[in-house]
């Protein structure tokens, strides 16, 4: 049962959420490099790989029928439909890492974070915010990965997602990357130090 995950191990769960373009992936990558006991949980998705993305590194890429079969078999700790694509975190992946005493980083959307928090109430939730919607639009456009309509849809979704920022324990505005990273590292160190016996 997923409710047993937190009590069976010494590993802790650290959840980072935020709208597309907020810089959460870059911040998570930098945090992982600074934190040897922290490992990334690789999510599953039905969206197509972006240029440079590899199976099992950024995501496990599944077709929709494969994903839905795993939903039906209760394989996911959380899953959600985001921008028309399905994303989810497999329970066995999380259990395996926690079972080794590793801290786990979940980089997931607010819907997934809320689902996980219901199961694992001691999880630490962080929400990364852009400095403004205008700045977010510039970031998404400068990526060159999505067409104009996709960018507009992501910006509109971001405004909705940001209304859930207060559900997290900590909120970090990513205006200056180094400062945001320092804040994220401080939260990670303090939250997990306080929770360890």
| pLDDT of amino acid 96 | 83
Most confidently predicted of 3-7, 39-43, 81-85:
39-43
- The residue among 95 and 51 whose pLDDT is bigger is 51
Q: Which domain holds residue 135?
A: 2-195
Does the pLDDT value for residue 60 go beyond 80?
A: yes
The CATH number assigned to the domain holding 20 equals 3.40.50.300
Total count of domains within the chain: 1
What does the pLDDT average to over 186-190? 93
Q: What does the alpha-carbon distance between residue 161 and residue 155 come to, in Å, rounded to a whole number?
A: 10
What does the pLDDT average to over 23-44? 93
Contacts of 90 (CB under 8 A, 6+ apart): 44, 60, 70, 75, 76, 77
What does the pLDDT average to over 81-97? 87
């Amino acid at each position: 049962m997923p409710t047993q995950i937190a009590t069976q191990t010494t590993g802790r769960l650290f959840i980072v959420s935020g709208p597309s373009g907020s810089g959460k992936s870059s911040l998570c990558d930098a945090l992982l490099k600074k934190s040897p006991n922290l490992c990334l949980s690789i999510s599953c998705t039905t969206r197509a790989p972006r240029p440079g993305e590899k199976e099992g590194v950024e995501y496990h890429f599944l077709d929709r029928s494969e994903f839905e079969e795993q939903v039906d078999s209760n394989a996911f700790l959380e899953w959600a439909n985001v921008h028309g694509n399905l994303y989810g975190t497999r329970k066995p992946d999380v259990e395996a890492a926690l079972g080794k005493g590793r801290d786990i980083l979940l980089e997931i959307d607010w819907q997934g974070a809320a689902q996980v928090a219901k199961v694992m109430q001691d999880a630490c939730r962080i929400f990364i915010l852009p400095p403004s919607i205008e700045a977010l639009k510039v970031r998404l456009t400068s990526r060159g990965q999505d067409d104009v309509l996709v960018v507009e849809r992501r910006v509109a979704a971001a405004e909705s997602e940001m209304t859930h920022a207060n559900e997290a324990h900590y909120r970090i505005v990513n205006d200056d990357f180094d400062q945001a990273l320092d804040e994220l590292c401080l939260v990670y160190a303090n939250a997990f130090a306080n929770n360890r016996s």
